[in-house]
Structure 1
Amino acid sequence: MNIFMQILMNTEIYKEHVYVVILCGGGGTRVWPLSISKKPKQFMKFYSNKTLFQETIARALEFTDISRIVIITSDKYVDEIKKEVPQILDQNIIGEPMKRNTALAMGVAAAFVYQKDPSGVIINLASDHVITKLDIYRKTLLAGALVSFDKHYLISVGITPTFAHAGLGYIQKGAKIGEYSGMPLNKVTGFKEKPSMELAQQFLDSGNYLWNANNYIWRADDILEAFDKLSPEIAKQIRKIQPFLGTNKQNEAINSYYPDTPQEPIDTAISEKTDNLYVLPGDFGWHDIGGWQVVYELGKKDDNENVVIPSQDINNNFPVIIEESNGSLVYSGKQPIAILGLSNIVVVDTGLGLLVCDRKKSNDVKNIVAKLQKDGFDKYI
């Protein structure tokens, strides 16, 4: 009997231990001015009557119940989270007083789960991704949870690349150790930072690389042990906070120990150091809303390839008129907008800010945000 047949015997057991941790702290400056620090993109509606965060919660409920969904976020977003999904237990919302990157966030969330269930297996999700193939998504992540629960592997779900992407890191696949639910499970042999376009094409052609989307699945006990071994400075702070998680002293402990903790992403703190990381391929229509170009690509097109994003306020949908124009994206949140005789542009008007740009240059919006910040116009970002 191979290891995966053995794992099947634990199918019902592991489901009682599945938790979902949602990281909900990003600023989303690449989709300014709709996404601003006060209310970033995960709290915006792009393609439905649900925000990206609400869509993430809906997907999380495919894996577990609401009592085992944990949110780690900036403390300034706690009220918004409660407003958007009031069913989430207050104690399951962990507010961070400052940014300390993903290693500490994931470590503290794992410690929180461990306090509830030492055998808890965690599916880590971002709050601002779009998934278009939900059945495959559910199958893939549950496969990762089952393998992680039974074999104590740290699992990365790498995204099967569809083109040469220079804006993402890559996971290098090593030896295949088996197959589960029709998907190969491979040893991870390396990580590659954002490559040149030439190197990205080589990665794509080789078939040995997956996009690194920071999709991780692991048991709470295993990842905490990995922190102890591989990132002791961060682990020391996590262990100080751990006894207070889930108690009325939680916020006090987090506020006390966060400032002295190093800022580090999970990739360099754990993933690049461990010899216990394996990867499953993700082919479930994954998209990171990393700019207006992605918003356009996923949007519903009219006959001239134009996309209109509805107003965030369903009671105030302002008219958008597009004449003799094509390939453009338009959003109006405060007043009517008309474009005439223009192609491949982005127009976003929120009342707080107005963006007009070539759609192909829209990924550079972050530079505008940086300039606004440098010039002291923080209230607009």
Structure 2
Amino acid sequence: MLHAVIMAGGSGTRFWPASRRDTPKQLLKLSGDRTMIQATADRLGDLVPDQRKMVVTNAALVAAVRQQLPDLPVESIVGEPCKRDTAPCIGLAATLIAAKDPDATMLVMPADHVITSDADFQKAVLAGEALLDEDPTRIVTFGIEPSYPAESFGYIERGETLGKADSAAYRVTRFREKPDAATAQQYLAAGTFYWNSGIFMWRCSTILEALQKQMPEMMEKLENIGQAAGESNFSEVLEREFAAIEGKSIDYAVMEDYPNIVVLEAPFRWDDVGSWQSLARMNPPDADGNTVLANHLGIDTRQTIVFGDTDHLIVTIDIEDLIVVHTPGATLVAPKSSEERVREVVKRLTEEGRESRL
């Protein structure tokens, strides 16, 4: 059966000050009327019932996730006691799912992507299932056809076509890290590279075997956690064993060395919502090129992103190419060209002991 795992442990520091420790970006409404994690769960439609959906998040966010996804079983929202990157997150989910359904197929999705349409996404998932039915040892990933030479995404280089799925499917030649500007331009011109969406499908048994080969010490600790599932001491075992795991991304742990990976050319539109400027890609601008998600009065304001709640009026006069974000506890004003420096703000506030603003 198909199970879906939503990875929701990110902190979203580049979306400060709206994204905070207790309400990171996956819990915010950045596009549409649903929060990002709600939209991710909704996207599955009837493909996966609530009983086969799992969210892996920060332990401090479990209550907030339960509030936003009340139809999920309580045990399906798993709180990581500490941050350990995507390989332990995925390994933990696969361990818990396999204990109940050894033949499970597992779809892994980040909670903070915007994808349209839901129907196109479900079509891609069904194509991925077909590829796994043909060869259960495969790993299926979803590649996004690049529309510009992005430096902020990883890339997948495709090889020979498979030509059997209900979508364009290719063998993966290799994964590439985030490139510099010149290399990104080469990837775009080559026509054989996709953006790496970070969405994967596999049999639970396949990913667990791959992790066992690459990270046996991690798997030993995850097996201890799995054995305690449903027991009264589960929380204690999870906290002890998970904290002892070395953090590593799934790309480094498995993807770079696994010999049987297929990339499906995604039929859906995708954005990883990595920074404030991504709002301009997801929300239609006004006549002056402004992206406004706020109660806003603009006078001679152009090409500016304005974000805030409806109770607070933001007025801008004679400005251009800025990011303006108002929240009850903090306000950000910065040139669009400096948006990557938002991470510096988070670092400085931490160093100065002003964690209440994070």
TM bin (shorter chain): over 0.9
Q: Counterpart of 2:65 in 1: which secondary structure?
A: helix
Q: Deviations over 1:60-84 (max 9, x none)?
A: 2342111100111111010001111
2:143 to 158, 162, 165: 158
CA distance in 2, matches of 1:240, 1:207: 45
User: Per-residue deviation at 1:161?
Assistant: 1.1
1:245 to 205, 222, 229: 229
Deviation readout 1:103-151 (Å, 9 max, x if unpaired) = 0000110111111111110110111100123322211122112322441
Deviation string 1:346-374 (CA, Å, 9 cap, x unpaired) is 11110211100112322331122122112
From 353, 362, 368, the equivalent of 2:330 is 353
Could you tell me which amino acid in structure 1 is paired with residue 144 of structure 2?
A: I
Tell me how far apart the structure 1 counterparts of residues 103 and 227 of structure 2 sit (CA, whole Å). 17
CA distance in 1, matches of 2:330, 2:133: 47
Q: Verify: 1:362 aligned to 2:339, yes or no.
A: yes
Match of 1:178 in 2: 163
The equivalent position to 2:348 in structure 1, one of 348, 353, 371, is: 371
Kindly provide the CA deviation profile for residues 274-301 of structure 1, in whole angstroms up to 9, marking residues without a partner as x. Answer: 1122111124110011111001221232
Q: Name which of structure 1's ranges 238-247 and 79-88 shifts more when overlaid on structure 2.
A: 238-247
Amino acid corresponding to residue 355 of structure 1 in structure 2: L
Which SS does the other structure have where 2:178 is aligned? Answer: coil
Aligned equivalent of 1:3: none
Normalising by structure 1, what TM-score?
A: 0.90
User: Is 1:293 matched with 2:277?
Assistant: yes
Equivalent residue number for residue 15 of structure 2:
31
Using the aligned pairs only, state the percent identity. 29
Structure 1, unpaired ranges of 5+: 1-16, 311-318
**Is 1:278 aligned to 2:262, yes or no?**
yes
Whole-angstrom CA distance in 1 between matches of 2:125 and 2:140: 10
1:330 aligns with 2:297: no
Retained in 2: the 8 A contact 1:230–1:274? no
Please, which moves more after superposition, 189-198 or 247-256? 247-256
Aligned amino acid, residue 353 of structure 2: G
1: distance between equivalents of 2:328 and 2:193? 43
Distance across 2 between alignment mates of 1:204 and 1:166 = 11
Instruction: Report if aligned partners of 2:132, 2:202 keep a CA contact under 8 Å in 1.
Output: yes
- Residues 9-61 of structure 1, C-alpha deviations (whole Å, 9 max, x = no match): xxxxxxxx011000010000111100011110111112222111111110123
SS at match of 1:337: strand
Q: Is the CA contact 1:149–1:219 (under 8 Å) kept in the aligned structure 2?
A: no
Q: Structure 1 residues 49 and 184, CA, compared in 2 at 3 Å: closer, same or farther?
A: closer
TM-score normalized by the length of structure 2 = 0.95
SS at match of 2:43: helix
- The aligned counterpart of 2:121 is 137
RMSD: 1.5
Q: Which amino acid aligns with 2:162?
A: I
User: Which amino acid in the other structure matches residue 143 of structure 1?
Assistant: A
Q: Which residue of structure 1 lines up, in the alignment, with residue 112 of structure 2?
A: 128
Give the direction of change, closer, same or farther, for the CA distance of 1:376–1:214 in structure 2 (3 Å limit).
same
